[in-house]
Amino acid sequence: MQILALNSSPRDNQTSKTELILQKFLAGTRQAGATTETIYLRDHRIEHCLGCFSCWTNTPGRCIQDDDMTNELIDRFLAADLVVLATPLYFGNINARLKVFLERTLPIYDPAKFDFSQGSDEPKAILPLRFERHPRIVALSVCGFPDPESFKLLCPTMQMIYGSYLVAEIYRDSSEFMDVPQFQPQMEQVLAATVRAGVEVVQQGRVGENTMANLTQPLAPAAELIAIMQQTWPQ
Ligand X SMILES: Cc1cc2nc3c(=O)[nH]c(=O)nc-3n(C[C@H](O)[C@H](O)[C@H](O)COP(=O)(O)O)c2cc1C
Report the interface residues with ligand X, using CB under 6 A: 9, 11, 16-19, 88-92, 142-145, 150, 175-176
Q: What is the DSSP letter of 182?
A: G
CA distances from 183 to 69, 144, 176 (A): 39, 15, 11
Smallest distance from ligand X to CB 195, Å: 18
Smallest distance from ligand X to CB 55, Å: 30
DSSP string, 83-151: EEEEEE-BTTB--HHHHHHHHTTGGGB-GGG----S---S---SS-BSSS---EEEEEEE-SSS-GGGG
**Among candidate residues 73, 74, 89, the one with its CA nearest the CA of residue 157:** 89
Q: Which is nearer to ligand X, 56 or 145 (CB)?
A: 145
12 Cα distance to chain centroid: 17
Smallest distance from ligand X to CB 131, Å: 31
Q: Which is nearer to ligand X, 20 or 201 (CB)?
A: 20
Tell whether the torsion through CA atoms of 142, 144, 149 and 152 is positive or negative. negative
Q: Which is nearer to ligand X, 42 or 124 (CB)?
A: 42
Q: Which is nearer to ligand X, 65 or 93 (CB)?
A: 93
For the chain, give the number of residues: 235
Smallest distance from ligand X to CB 33, Å: 27
Cα angle, residue 196 at apex, residues 195 and 202 outer, rounded to 5°: 100
Smallest distance from ligand X to CB 40, Å: 11
Q: Which is nearer to ligand X, 109 or 177 (CB)?
A: 177
**Three-class SS state of 188:** helix
Q: Which is nearer to ligand X, 100 or 127 (CB)?
A: 100
Q: Are the CB atoms for 130 and 108 separated by under 8 Å?
A: yes
Smallest distance from ligand X to CB 2, Å: 24
